[in-house]
Amino acid sequence: MNTEIIAVVNQKGGVGKTTTCANLGIGLAQAGKEVLLVDCDPQASLSISLGIRQPDRLPFTLPDAMAQVLMDDQPGAEERKMDHHLVSHPEGIDLMPSDIRLSAMEVSLVNAMSRETVLRQYLQRFKGQYSHILLDCPPTLGMLTINALAAADRVIIPVQAEYLPAKGLEQLLQTVNKVRRQINPNLKIDGILMTMVDNRTNFARETAVLLRDTYGAKIKVFSTEIPHSVRAKEISAKGKSIFAHDPNGKVAEAYQNLTQEVMQLEKKRYIVRTDISR
Ligand SMILES: Nc1ncnc2c1ncn2[C@@H]1O[C@H](COP(=O)(O)OP(=O)(O)O)[C@@H](O)[C@H]1O
Ligand SMILES: [Mg+2]
């Protein structure tokens, strides 16, 4: 099984990264994919929104996994044991949770050898076990986000429709380019995803036009837009996806469309790749 690792990245908080990670992940699982979600944020919003009330009480979370990689980079029996620490969610995905100790781990990475690739080394063991691994990034361009970009094949950038991202996006793209140049030459940007789109205002449309004008030649803007809805806001307290919480709502429909778009991108790329190899 080929494993696609997708990082959901934006250094701005509150743009819909975590919501997209959870619902795209569960959307892919519903489409028959094998999905692992990895919570790379010390705030652990993804873990909490998937029903883990107190991540800091878990015996083993991402900082422990990364610490093991740092202590011993030989793949062996000990490391395989870590699979048992994944949490299975009733909607058909697995999760490697995070907790606040991940922030101390980030600090200790600064002095570590191969500090940018610790996450990539950890995820190595899941290659072939999952078709998709989604990485929920923290709202910074720090070492954890760099680790996610170094581990990923592809990047999705959620952008909140009402706020023009101008400078922030430029900085993010520079970071992606730098990681591509120095660590991960195959990293691709899948696209910019407009989130929390309020159809009652013109902001969203104006932002979309501006984004397409500025970056359209270089970066895809997903044709799916995620609408703003209180139903979407409710799910993080429920521990379930929008598909379980409000299956007939517009946000569920949007995340289903996004899932299709993401899978189509893969197919297209696969065809291009096989064409080239002939
Ligand atoms: N489509 C949406 N409509 C309304 N609220 C949303 C939507 N998507 C996310 N939210 C809410 O917006 C806030 C930020 O979303 P979140 O996914 O946590 O962003 P990030 O991970 O980028 O910080 C959360 O309170 C979340 O419940
Ligand atoms: Mg988040």
pLDDT of residue 99: 97
pLDDT of residue 106: 95
Residue 167 pLDDT greater than 80, yes or no: no
Q: Which ligand is nearest to the CA of 9?
A: 1
The domain segmentation of the chain, as residue ranges, is 4-277
Residue 218 pLDDT greater than 50, yes or no: yes
DSSP string, 115-162: GGGHHHHHHGGGBTTBSEEEEE--SSSSHHHHHHHHH-SEEEEEEETT
d(CA 3, CA 255): 21
Kindly report the length of the chain.
Answer: 278
**DSSP conformation class of 228:** P
Computed over every residue of the chain, the mean pLDDT equals 90
Atom from ligand 1 closest to the CA of residue 21? 17
Q: Report yes or no: 22 and 49 within 8 Å, Cβ to Cβ.
A: yes
d(CA 149, CA 140): 12
What is the pLDDT confidence band of residue 78, given thresholds at 50, 70 and 90?
low
Q: Report yes or no: 194 and 204 within 8 Å, Cβ to Cβ.
A: yes
4-277: CATH class:
alpha beta
pLDDT of residue 74: 57
Atom from ligand 1 closest to the CA of residue 19? 17
Residue 232 pLDDT greater than 60, yes or no: yes
Atom from ligand 1 closest to the CA of residue 12? 22
Residue nearest to ligand 1 atom 3, measured at CA: 228
Cα 112 to ligand 2 centre (Å): 26
pLDDT of residue 144: 98
